[in-house]
Amino acid sequence: MKKSFWKRYYYDYLKSFVSFLTPDGVRVLNIDPEQVAHNGDISFLDKKYEYIIASDVLGYVGDIQSFLRKTVECLTNDGRIVITQYNALWEPILRLASALGLRKVIIEQNWLSILDLKNFAYLAGYEVVKSGTKMIMPVYIPLLSWFFNKVLANIWPLSHLGLFHYIVARKPETRVIGIKPSISIIVPARNEAGTIEKIANELPELGSFTEIIFVEGNSTDNTFSEIQRVVDSKMAKIENGNISEKIFKYTKQEGKGKGDAVRKGFEMATGDILTIYDADMTVPADEVRKFYDAIVENKGDFINGSRLVYPMQKESMRVLNFFGNKFFSLAFSWILGQPLKDTLCGTKVLWRNDYDKIKKGRTFFGDFDPFGDFDLLFGAAKLSLKIVDLPVHYGERVYGTTNISRWKHGWLLLKMTVFAARKMKFV
C-alpha cells in the first residue's frame, strides 16, 4: 500500500521534475537523504560538480546553513544547486498518512517554508534563480492527478499549496572572467541599407576586441552591397594601420527569419560574449555598452533589453504592439519563472559557453522560433540562467519600414506562448 498510494507516484513525479531542472550531460551529485539522516555524513562533498541535487535532504540536516556552505565549495564556477523540500503546510496531512499506513513513519525533521529555503540559500552564499511549489495531489488517480499536478498546481492560489517547494540557485560569482572579455555583436539586416554605415561607426569598442558581424537576410533593397562596401572599407583601413579594436565580418543568410540569421551569426562569432543588435537602430548603438558592463560585472547570465521603462518616441511602437508586448511579458514571466519586462526587444547578451549549452539542448523545444528571441529565452530559462532586464531607450527607426506583421506575428507569438507553457510550466 505504501508503494502504490504514496511512495511510487510521489518519487516518480519528483524524479521527473528534478530531471527537467537539470541539463543533460552535466556532472551531477544526487545527495542521499538517508545518508544525511542517519549519521549526518557529508564526506561525499569532496569533488566539483556542475549540479547538486538535494531532494528531501534539508529536513534531516542539523545545521542547514553550514551544510549549504559546504555545497557551494563543491560546485563549479557556473554550477547550480536544486533543492526540493516538503511544504510545511502538509505536515499534518503527511502525519495522518503515516498513521494510516499510506506512507512511512515521519521521523523528527525540519519543516521549512519557501522563504526559509531562500533565506538559508542566501545565508550560505547562493543567489536564487527560480523557485516554486509543485504537486497538490500526491496519489495517482488517472487523469485527475495529471490535471491537478500539471495544471491547477500552477495557478494561484493553488500554486502555494503544493506538497513540495523547490529552488534553483547559483553561486554568487559564477564566472572566472578575464580583464577584458571579447564581444561579438550580431546584426541581422533585412532591407536596412540606410543604417549599415551608421551602425559600423556607432557601435562601441568593448573588451579586448569587438567583432561586428552583419548577416544580410534576403533583402529587396541594396542592403547586401552596402554591407560589403562598409565592411571592406573598414577592414581596408585596419589593414593599412588604422588602430581599431573593431573587427568586421559579413555573410548572406540562406534561410529565412531573424532567428536563422542570429544562429548563423553566432556560428561565425569568436568573442567570449555574444550580442544581438537590431539593424533598425531603434535602440541607440552606444547602449550596447551597458549590456557588456552588466554581464561582465555578473549582474546576470543573460541580459535582456527592455523597451517598456523609459518614455518612447511618438512613432516608435504602435498602441496595439505596446499592449501586446505587455501581455507577452506577463505570460512569459509566469511561464519561465523569472520576471521579464519585455520579451521582444532585439538586444540580448549572453556568454558564448551558455549559448553552446542552449544550442545543445535545442531539441527540447525544437526549431520553431523565427524571431530568435524565444529560442534564447526558453533555453536560458531551461538552464536556470539568471535573466536580468536592462532598460533601454527606444526610438523611431531611422530608415525603412518594420519587418514585423502585427497580426500574423502576433498570432504566431500566441501559439509560441501556449507551446512554452506546455513545455516549461505544465510539467
229 and 295 belong to one structural domain:
yes
- The DSSP 8-state label assigned to residue 6 in this structure reads I
Given a cut of 90, is residue 237 above it in pLDDT? no
Residue numbers of the domain that contains 98: 2-170
**Residue 176 included in any domain:** no
- Do 77 and 172 touch, CB atoms closer than 8 A? no
Number of structural domains, the chain? 2
**Tens digit of each residue's pLDDT (9 = 90 or more) over 345-361:** 889 999 999 999 999 88
Q: What is the mean pLDDT of residues 121-145?
A: 93
Average pLDDT over the chain reads 86
Distance CA(279)–CA(347), nearest Å, equals 10
* CATH at residue 46: 3.40.50.150
270 and 342 belong to one structural domain:
yes
31 and 151 belong to one structural domain:
yes
**Residue 256 included in any domain:** yes
Task: Indicate the residue among 140, 170, 200 that finishes a domain.
Answer: 170
Q: What is the mean pLDDT of residues 196-201?
A: 96
204 and 93 belong to one structural domain:
no
The fraction of the chain above a pLDDT of 70, given in percent, is 86
Distance CA(171)–CA(175), nearest Å, equals 9
**Residue 133 included in any domain:** yes
pLDDT number for residue 36: 76
pLDDT number for residue 1: 38
Distance CA(253)–CA(188), nearest Å, equals 9
148 and 204 belong to one structural domain:
no
Indicate left, alpha or beta for 412 from its phi (over 0: left) and psi (-120 to 50: alpha): alpha
**Residue 354 included in any domain:** yes
260 and 143 belong to one structural domain:
no
pLDDT number for residue 45: 74
Task: Indicate the residue among 170, 198, 217 that finishes a domain.
Answer: 170
218 and 329 belong to one structural domain:
yes
Residue 345 in grid coordinates: 526587444
**Residue 175 included in any domain:** no
Distance CA(17)–CA(135), nearest Å, equals 10
Distance CA(369)–CA(372), nearest Å, equals 6
**Tens digit of each residue's pLDDT (9 = 90 or more) over 135-191:** 999 888 999 999 999 999 999 899 999 999 999 999 876 565 667 899 999 999 999
Length of the chain: 427
209 and 146 belong to one structural domain:
no
Distance CA(345)–CA(215), nearest Å, equals 18
269 and 415 belong to one structural domain:
yes
90 and 198 belong to one structural domain:
no
Q: What is the mean pLDDT of residues 206-214?
A: 95
pLDDT number for residue 177: 61
Q: Which long-range CB contacts under 8 A does 253-256 form with residues at least 24 apart?
A: 253/188, 253/215, 253/216, 253/217, 253/218, 256/217, 256/218, 256/370
pLDDT number for residue 161: 93
116 and 56 belong to one structural domain:
yes
pLDDT number for residue 4: 46
pLDDT number for residue 405: 59
**Residue 212 included in any domain:** yes
**Tens digit of each residue's pLDDT (9 = 90 or more) over 148-157:** 999 999 998 9
pLDDT number for residue 324: 72
Given a cut of 70, is residue 34 above it in pLDDT? yes
Distance CA(119)–CA(290), nearest Å, equals 30
CB atoms within 10 A of CB 212: 23
Distance CA(255)–CA(261), nearest Å, equals 8
What are the distances in angstroms from CA 14 to CA 95, 134, 340, 389, 427?
A: 20, 9, 27, 31, 11
Task: Indicate the residue among 170, 194, 225 that finishes a domain.
Answer: 170
268 and 327 belong to one structural domain:
yes
